[in-house]
């Protein structure tokens, strides 16, 4: 019983730290503000905006409810921790409380700018032809399965298919509060080692793909002059159904001053694709601004480094043995099928903690 009592006190201390870090008055104020938005007559006119506000409201309400519930449950656990007859029930309760606290602590790590934002996840095949394009498709599926397991809504906005298989480029918007905070650690180069399914000899093949993760940026945050935007409609090459390719619904958007070009082609409406493309463009412009600021800081400090295509963050070996290993956190598993089917929590949680503690 002494060990369980110690565990309950540890949980109390952990909860106190979380409470000290959380501005409950602000949280309640944010909830009231979002609730007021949902009460406006024209709230549901814009489906995407109303869905976004509803998800934010639900997320904040859930956080507040979790905090209030934890406070009550930990207080009750402390009261019964003196009763020997309650030891088994207390063990079960402390296990549940520990799991809830783990998730809450992880979320509190996400306090950097834009961590609360929805995310744009893109996968680009690297050098290596059809092998790399097939690998890009495997990664695209992995992230979709991850979102499905978390019950996160996502919207595929761009699919540039490979000539024989897979993707040259794939993009999706993850419509979930904190999606950027959770997923930003996935950006970088992902390496696959396997027996090639594309040649008769089944030779061992190494393929690379680049994963890019950006926050969804509000239009008020990045000033874009309409005169600087060039729109071009074209026929979709994506897997959007037989009617998509009959009309020019796909959209290419170019920002003339920066030279940045993005495409969106999975929706049947040119207007919808244009909206998706503009979201991606704003995020790309934000990323460019951040890169320029970082480069200037490095130059001022005298530590300017050569920009690279990406850094290798994770290795997926399917032959001659099975192993997925994160090269930053040293987290690894031999259950490669589970990882490629979206079981990424252990990797994402470890990297999130590393990014936000040191």
Q: What is the rounded distance in angstroms from the CA atom of residue 123 to the CA atom of residue 188?
A: 10
pLDDT at 299: 65
CB 20 within 8 A of CB 27: no
Q: What is the rounded distance in angstroms from the CA atom of residue 28 to the CA atom of residue 357?
A: 27
Q: Per-block average pLDDT, block size 10, for the chain (358 residues)?
A: 86 89 89 94 85 88 92 91 82 91 84 88 90 96 97 93 91 93 94 88 88 89 89 72 55 93 88 90 91 73 45 92 96 98 95 74
- Domain spans, the chain: 2-109, 119-218+305-357, 226-301
pLDDT at 305: 39
DSSP 128-143: STHHHHHHHHHHHHHH
Domain 226-301: top CATH class:
alpha beta
DSSP 337-356: HHHHTT--HHHHHHHHHHHH
Q: How far is CA 184 from the centre of its chain?
A: 6
pLDDT at 74: 93
Q: Which listed CATH number (3.40.50.1700, 3.30.70.1660, 3.40.30.20, 1.10.3720.10) goes with 119-218+305-357?
A: 3.30.70.1660
Domains 2-109 and 226-301 in one fold? no
pLDDT at 310: 52
Query: 2-109: what fold?
Result: Methane Monooxygenase Hydroxylase; Chain G, domain 1 (1.20.58)
Helix (H, G, I), strand (E, B) or coil at 316: strand
Q: Which residues pair with 325 in a beta bridge?
A: 315, 332
């Amino acid at each position: 019983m002494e060990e369980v009592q110690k565990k309950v006190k540890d949980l109390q201390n952990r909860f106190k730290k979380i409470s000290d870090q959380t501005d409950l008055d602000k949280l309640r104020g944010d909830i009231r503000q979002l609730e007021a938005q949902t009460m406006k007559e024209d709230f549901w006119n814009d489906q995407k905006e109303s869905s976004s506000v509803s998800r934010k409201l639900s997320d904040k309400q859930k956080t507040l409810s979790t905090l209030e519930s934890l406070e009550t449950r930990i207080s009750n656990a402390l009261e019964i921790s003196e009763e020997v007859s309650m030891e088994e029930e207390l063990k079960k309760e402390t296990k549940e409380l520990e799991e809830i606290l783990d998730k809450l602590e992880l979320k509190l790590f996400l306090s950097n700018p834009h961590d609360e934002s929805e995310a744009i996840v893109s996968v680009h095949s690297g050098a290596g032809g059809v092998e790399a394009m097939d690998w890009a498709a495997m990664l695209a599926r992995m992230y979709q399965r991850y979102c499905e397991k978390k019950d996160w809504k996502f919207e595929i906005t761009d699919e540039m298919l490979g000539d024989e298989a897979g993707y040259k480029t794939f993009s999706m918007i993850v419509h979930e509060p904190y999606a950027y905070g959770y997923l930003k650690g996935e950006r970088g180069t992902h390496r696959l080692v396997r027996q090639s399914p594309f040649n008769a000899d089944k030779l061992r093949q190494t393929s690379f793909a680049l994963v890019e993760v950006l926050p969804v940026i509000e239009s008020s945050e990045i000033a874009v002059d309409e005169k600087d935007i060039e729109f071009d409609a074209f026929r979709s090459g994506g897997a959007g159904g037989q009617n998509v390719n009959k009309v020019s619904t796909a959209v290419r958007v170019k920002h003339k001053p920066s030279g940045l070009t993005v495409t969106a082609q999975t929706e049947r409406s040119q207007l919808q694709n244009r909206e998706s493309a503009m979201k991606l463009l704003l995020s790309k412009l934000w990323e460019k601004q951040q890169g320029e600021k970082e480069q200037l800081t490095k130059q001022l400090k005298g530590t300017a480094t050569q920009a690279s295509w990406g850094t290798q963050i994770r290795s997926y070996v399917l032959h001659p043995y099975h192993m997925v290993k994160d090269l930053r956190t040293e987290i690894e598993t031999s259950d490669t099928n589970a990882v490629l089917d979206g079981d990424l929590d252990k990797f994402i949680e470890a990297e999130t903690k590393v990014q936000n503690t040191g």
